[in-house]
Amino acid sequence: MPHPAAAAHEKPVLVLNGPNLDLLGLREPTVYGTDTLAGIEKLCHDTAAGLGLSVDFRQSNHEGVLIDAVHEARTAHRGIVINPAGYTHTSVALRDALAAAELPVIEVHLTNIHRREPFRHHSYVSGVADAVLCGTGAHGYALALTHLDRLTHPAHPRSPR
């Protein structure tokens, strides 16, 4: 029987994207850049493959759908990379679901939310995330997957929350 940590290593990483990210490349390219969500998905699959991982890549504009995906992740995934988008600043329910998942969570934002409007400076997700990446554009997803691999690889102890 495989070691539980080894079994977790074989599970995919959930890469979860929140509202309006389906409009990347079209929506405010001067703010969010010209990368599309399809391009970010390809980057995630390519990065994961290079690490010996697989990715379950999803996007929803609906808070409940995102929460359901996090609940599913408890048993089906090894960790979560999430760009909660607008729900970063508003959703206690998504934050609570991430805390209840008991998985490593990496929060990603394309822009530096601390250099934007004041209402974007607070993240409910950051308090339950193992790491936060912002302002690195699409590359932040590759960094998040690399860090999540380090956190969940059987040879590395999980970082404290």
Cβ neighbors of 134 (< 8 A, separation 6 or more) are 107, 108, 109, 110, 111, 112, 113, 114, 140
Assign 141 to helix, strand or coil: helix
| Residue closest to 73 by CA, chosen among 115, 12, 134, 138 | 12
Assign 131 to helix, strand or coil: strand
**Residue of 77, 87, 109, 147 marked catalytic:** 109
- Residue 18 corresponds to which tokens in the numbers above? 């929140």
- Residue 115 corresponds to which tokens in the numbers above? 């250099």
**Residue of 32, 87, 124, 141 marked catalytic:** 32
How far apart are alpha carbons 89 and 16 in whole angstroms?
16
32 in active site? yes
109 in active site? yes
Catalytic site positions: 32, 109
